[in-house]
Structure 1
């Protein structure tokens, strides 16, 4: 059992009061609904039979059955209302804590923004959180209801019509156990493969669009589009296969339940003709079977929700652990007796998958601090790839990167795309660390955002992001720089930090940053060489690749 699975069970146990109450209310409301249908069927048929003669009509008690029907109706309504309140309260308590714990666990790792921008990671993360949230409402609670209804239905059949158990037991067992196992084996696995294939398809399409010029220049456009078409065809075929299997299993389940209903009603009518069962009870058993079948048919979705939730917890646990591994494995951090920060690339070779030529082949380079290094070159020359290798976001196929850090920390990384969280300005600056308001205002002042922040409706407490206060492109870049200032690492990596900024503003900022970071090792990937100071070093990518 993974760490997050254990944590989910722990949170479920912590909220056992509302969780158990919600399950109990779900069982009560379901029982009341089925009993209402069965009792109403008995009442109607008994009243009809009693009305055949004047004597039985006068002797028939209409009041007690009518009161029982009203009682079940009220119990069903009250139970459903109480079940909604308690189960949703239990779910909200559970997922609110689970969400915060999952993202706290992720954020406690070394902060790298870029991996979470990947479609495969981002979409899967969102879907997995939704699957985990539905475990209680869509699997645990309805699962208990299915088992309770199965037991109750078989118990009533055993009391009124014991001979029907020979048919009911295998059918109920098949519908509740065998068909869900078959569903999980034949349907869930293709659906999981389908999601992975759709993610790969999206990545291929995104890569095709973003690298259109490179693909055309290298005459690889036709192959790229053929690969995308092949992936789409495979995904469509897998989706059709999964839907067909799902429909067949649903059809087989419903056929078994129809056979059960017909068989029970036939045996009940036969027992009534032999006067071993009251005729009205035959109709009661028919409606009881119909009401129970409506619940039993949900067994397959219940098991599917449970399995999807468990797999989601496994994947979230894997993401949480692999992100840390992914960001730390490519580099070796040396902290003992380090007085100056250094980045040493030794024999680095890196080639993108399905690309004919490597980006770097046996690259050796040392960046020694304090000082600024500006990596320059045209688009597509490998600047961002080099930054991703230095940041640990990519792993070289050959060679290693040695990080000698005076402050015993990995480099602070500012990616090209700065994510604005839907949260307060202070949270967008602090991320998972804690800083004082004085530190926040100092960082904002350095990047000339202090006046902008003071003009916001609630200052540092103003919410940013989608649907809230949205900073411009240049303001977003400066927020990214403010984050790096707050982290105060000995080594700083900046990937196109001035893109979208006014030239005069960028010159002022980087002149100020050069003074503020004069004792640090700063490596900048840029097209804008006019921002360099006279004592800083320019390294063209062409010089790195040829050495």
Structure 2
């Protein structure tokens, strides 16, 4: 178990990210302060005005001569009331917009981190865990500014400003109020955070466990019922729910304690201010309206402290979310491909020299040299001393049963996996030293999992070549025998294919993915079960058309069984992959399934 960082070190990366929008955050905090100052001014001035008016009425009734300007304080009261309402409304609108922008920054950053992780790292957790990082953990971090930093800072500034205001008329009252409210502020922030740390941490962990279990139950409902284990799964879910309820009850009690402390501190504060102001009034050093104004100003501080108990009681959840997201950042820094990408980006920024290999035009040579690869938690390796050579322009078909490592070969070539030992070379350059952009441009891979997005047919094709015109799109569709079908559609190329290509049959989706590949101009083509799900006669016809596009390119076929020679165009050589002893590793399914399969 890794040692936890300190609180400051854990939150530092996210505080730096907040700093990118420093101007908006300061403006939002200023709006909070303006709304609070207006609330204090409204209550204090109202108390002064009511008292002054009452005393003036008593004096006039007693026959004394007295004047009171009612217009200035009346205007001030209306001004404070309007300012408080407007400032509160604008502050909520502005700060929530800021938080939404921050959430977009956080999600974009974390998605980039997840996309940069290799399949070995991704396979260590379920897809539901990764989804939890992108949603629940990021959402938890939105409290860092809106519920923790800004309200606590504004409340502390309000306490200091109020103490300074009271010191003008009664230093003793100012000192008493500052001591009481300052001590309460310390407890409501540091004390409440410490008190609720364990329970709020555990609540986040239990919520993640509940989501994972629930997704497992929904995905495997048929299997659970078949094997009679559904009742046990439900009992596990109920046990997690009970622990969640227990944590929520504990956090509720802690929050109630904090609310009571805040109320007690404000009550003692205004009572102390009233008592000391009354002594000053009795001594003739303070007027009656000021005596009333001082405790009422303190009473308004309840608005500043009311939001702190709940927010800081949940501080452990924010800290736990930051720790888990930091772990992803650490995993990315340990990932070789991400390090190369960061080095390349740094070089572009400051023109520093970085040793990054590029790939020449034309067919590429591929070589596996004594490669070893083991997935996390597996009893046996996928490869151990594996070697393979593909000459420029050669077409090699590698065949093997499921689990023999065919898709792992593709992941190694495309840089999604790094070998534990040995080297993978393209044109004599190790894959780990090739610029990611060059690797993506010069190596094209058709994986078993067809990735189509809920957009038009044209948009899915244009992912491979954004500059392609309609004529080129129709040409590649003709190659895979989908042109007639697309022309018959009411909207043609603008027809939406549905999420994951659900509006298409399996064979159609496969051919759309193949057509998208034909828009590329790579030097090495990796085709993993290229004709899976297609009618044999159709596969032969497409293979004949595909042969021309593959000419002059190196080709690596990955197939389940050694098919007839006519099924794959122009195969020069076959190589078998032997299945190593059964592994206990099962890659995750879900949003990163295509990168984690082996």
Relative to the length of structure 2, the TM-score reads: 0.66
Cα drift, residue 477 of structure 1: 3.6
Distance 2:218 2:527 in 1: 25
Residues 123 and 509 of structure 1, relative CA distance in 2, 3 Å threshold: farther
Match of 1:437 in 2: 468
Match of 1:150 in 2: 159
Match of 1:77 in 2: 85
Deviations 1:429-454 (A, max 9, x none): 565x8742249726555445667778
Contact 2:117 2:332 in 1 (8 A): no
Q: Which residue of the other structure, out of 30, 35, 56, is the alignment partner of 1:29?
A: 35
**1:264-275 mapped onto 2 (5 Å cutoff):** 264-271=269-276, 273-274=278-279, 275=281
Cα drift, residue 70 of structure 1: 1.3
Contact 2:366 2:426 in 1 (8 A): yes
Cα drift, residue 72 of structure 1: 0.9
Deviations 1:281-326 (A, max 9, x none): 5654444334312222334566649857865874564465456648
Residues 422 and 348 of structure 1, relative CA distance in 2, 3 Å threshold: same
Residues 63 and 395 of structure 1, relative CA distance in 2, 3 Å threshold: same
Cα drift, residue 360 of structure 1: 4.1
1:120 equivalenced with 2:129 (yes/no): yes
**Higher alpha-carbon deviation: 200-209 or 133-142:** 200-209
Alignment partner of 1:521: what SS?
Answer: strand
Match of 1:520 in 2: 554
Match of 1:254 in 2: 259
Cα drift, residue 75 of structure 1: 1.3
1:298 equivalenced with 2:329 (yes/no): no
Cα drift, residue 372 of structure 1: 4.2
Contact 2:259 2:309 in 1 (8 A): no
Contact 1:11 1:98 in 2 (8 A): no
Distance 2:212 2:557 in 1: 29
Contact 1:129 1:312 in 2 (8 A): no
Residues 343 and 288 of structure 1, relative CA distance in 2, 3 Å threshold: farther
Contact 1:114 1:415 in 2 (8 A): no
Residues 73 and 528 of structure 1, relative CA distance in 2, 3 Å threshold: farther
**Higher alpha-carbon deviation: 280-289 or 449-458:** 449-458
Residues 188 and 481 of structure 1, relative CA distance in 2, 3 Å threshold: farther
Distance 1:264 1:390 in 2: 70
Match of 2:349 in 1: none
Residues 459 and 252 of structure 1, relative CA distance in 2, 3 Å threshold: same
Alignment partner of 2:397: what SS?
Answer: strand
Distance 1:278 1:452 in 2: 91
Distance 1:25 1:296 in 2: 16
Cα drift, residue 69 of structure 1: 1.9
**Higher alpha-carbon deviation: 494-503 or 77-86:** 494-503
Residues 450 and 192 of structure 1, relative CA distance in 2, 3 Å threshold: farther
Residues 259 and 393 of structure 1, relative CA distance in 2, 3 Å threshold: same
Match of 2:346 in 1: none
1:402 equivalenced with 2:435 (yes/no): no
Deviations 1:349-397 (A, max 9, x none): 64663x7x5374746352635224253536x67665666566665667x
Residues 88 and 345 of structure 1, relative CA distance in 2, 3 Å threshold: same
Residues 351 and 229 of structure 1, relative CA distance in 2, 3 Å threshold: farther
Contact 1:132 1:310 in 2 (8 A): yes
Alignment partner of 1:156: what SS?
Answer: helix
Contact 2:41 2:80 in 1 (8 A): yes
Cα drift, residue 123 of structure 1: 2.6
Q: Which residue of the other structure, out of 152, 169, 178, is the alignment partner of 1:169?
A: 178
Alignment partner of 1:261: what SS?
Answer: helix
Gaps of 5+ in 1: none
Distance 1:546 1:365 in 2: 19
Q: What is the number of residues matched between the two proteins?
A: 528
Contact 1:423 1:463 in 2 (8 A): yes
Gaps of 5+ in 2: 1-8, 342-355, 583-598
Deviations 1:126-156 (A, max 9, x none): 3454456665544554344223322223233
**1:72-471 mapped onto 2 (5 Å cutoff):** 72-84=80-92, 86-87=94-95, 115=122, 118-130=127-139, 135-185=144-194, 187=196, 191-192=200-201, 195=204, 199=208, 233=239, 237=243, 239=244, 242-244=247-249, 246-271=251-276, 273-274=278-279, 275-276=281-282, 281=290, 284-299=293-308, 304=315, 314=326, 317-318=329-330, 321=333, 325=337, 341-344=365-368, 346=370, 348=372, 350=374, 353=377, 358=380, 360=382, 362=384, 364=386, 366=388, 368=390, 370-373=394-397, 375-377=399-401, 393=416, 399-400=421-422, 402-405=424-427, 409=439, 412-421=444-453, 428-429=460-461, 435-438=466-469, 441=473, 443=476, 446-447=479-480, 471=503
Match of 1:472 in 2: 504
Cα drift, residue 64 of structure 1: 4.3
Relative to the length of structure 1, the TM-score reads: 0.71
Cα drift, residue 178 of structure 1: 4.4
